[in-house]
Structure 1
Amino acid sequence: MRINFTPDSSRDIGSGYEKAWQAGRVDLAALTATDLRYGFFEYPVDLTVEGHAFLSASRPPLIDIMFTLGHSLHGLRTDGSASIDFTENTYMIHLERTREQVLFSASHGAATPRPSCSFAAFTSEVRSFITKGLAYLEPRYPALARNPAMSELRVLAGTGMVEVEKLGRIASGDEQGRYVYVKELPDEPPSYLVLTAADPDLKADGGDEWVEDFSSLEQFFGEGRWLVEWNL
């Protein structure tokens, strides 16, 4: 499956906010998650599963579909089902988890048999989509990075988590674009070595930092404002 968005800066500011934005009266750091999910960043989004286009160049508010996808991960884990719905229309994409597969159907235009993908692939694609969305929006609108809704998105998708013994790419923050690998050391409790480099083989322009425990590791990532895409 694939989920992608195409930026369109002409649709960044929500309908009804244009004059206030031009007058400098819109603080993206202070807007509620609901405000951000209605009308801001209306970008073309494509969602395709086994060749069936559930979304094709539709323009849901980007932050809205990021939230909806994040909630769908939780629903599939806990209830075995979830829906992807939209603030601007009644169209819905229904998801059903059967063991390790996710089956897709829609409120209209559904394919038979239902397209599917593995739950692992869905999780990876959703995390990647949210990571790329945050990495695109926050550098362009630094105030948005201070909005609590962005932290909530990271928690929903798990993109803010630190993963050990797994290669990742720093999508935003200090050292953006470099690769990172966290190695667990055989101490009690474990300490960690954070390896970074310009290439995925960790051989070009490398660096390393030692931290004494997992709490310090999370703090290290936080201080660097690292948003890491782990599912490479």
Structure 2
Amino acid sequence: MGIWKNTIQIKHSPLRTTIFPLQINGLKMTDILIGRVGKIISGDEQGRYIKVVDDAENTGGFLILIADDIEFRSGYDNWVEDKDALNRYFLECEWLINWSR
């Protein structure tokens, strides 16, 4: 039992399960970090890069930037109105993010 304590298991099908560490370099993959680039390793948009920008001065909400590459040359953005909406957005996407980049 102890071996699974700090992991998250994602069941893709009855025959395929992926096990991820819950933390990488002290950062939880379920956390939402503002202003930092991460790589989506599970969930919607797997393999893409993400950055959440606090846009309080302009819109009062948060921009969620998604890109194919770490330099964000090609991608798109979404907007949410507040921290609660940001949390709901991340839950809906079922993201695990490696924030150690």
Bigger strand fraction: 2
Q: 1:173 aligns with which of 43, 53, 60?
A: 43
Aligned residue number for residue 221 of structure 1: 90
Partner SS, residue 65 of structure 2: strand
Aligned residue number for residue 100 of structure 2: 231
Q: 1:195 aligns with which of 65, 88, 93?
A: 65
Whole-Å separation in 2 of the counterparts to 1:212 and 1:173: 22
TM-score, structure 2 as length reference = 0.77
For the Cα contact (< 8 Å) 2:27–2:99, is it kept in 1? no
Cα deviations by residue, 1:110-166 (Å, 9 ceiling, x for unpaired): xxxxxxxxxxxxxxxxxxxx5xxx4xx413338x9xxxxx9xx57x96321100000
Whole-Å separation in 1 of the counterparts to 2:27 and 2:78: 26
Q: How does 1:1-232 map to 2 (within 5 A)?
A: 37=1, 61=3, 63-64=4-5, 67=6, 134=8, 137-138=9-10, 139=12, 140-141=16-17, 153=22, 158-187=28-57, 190-204=60-74, 206-232=75-101
Whole-Å separation in 1 of the counterparts to 2:96 and 2:35: 17
Where in structure 1 do 4 or more consecutive aligned residues deviate above 4 Å?
none
Q: Which runs of 5+ in 2 are unaligned?
A: none
Aligned residue number for residue 125 of structure 1: none
Bigger helix fraction: 1
Number of residue pairs aligned between Structure 1 and Structure 2: 94
**Equivalent residue letter for 1:159:** M
For the Cα contact (< 8 Å) 1:189–1:213, is it kept in 2? no
Quote the offset at 1:207 in angstroms: 1.1
RMSD: 2.8
Partner SS, residue 100 of structure 2: coil
For the Cα contact (< 8 Å) 2:27–2:100, is it kept in 1? no
Higher radius of gyration, 1 or 2: 1
Sequence identity (%): 31
Whole-Å separation in 1 of the counterparts to 2:65 and 2:96: 16
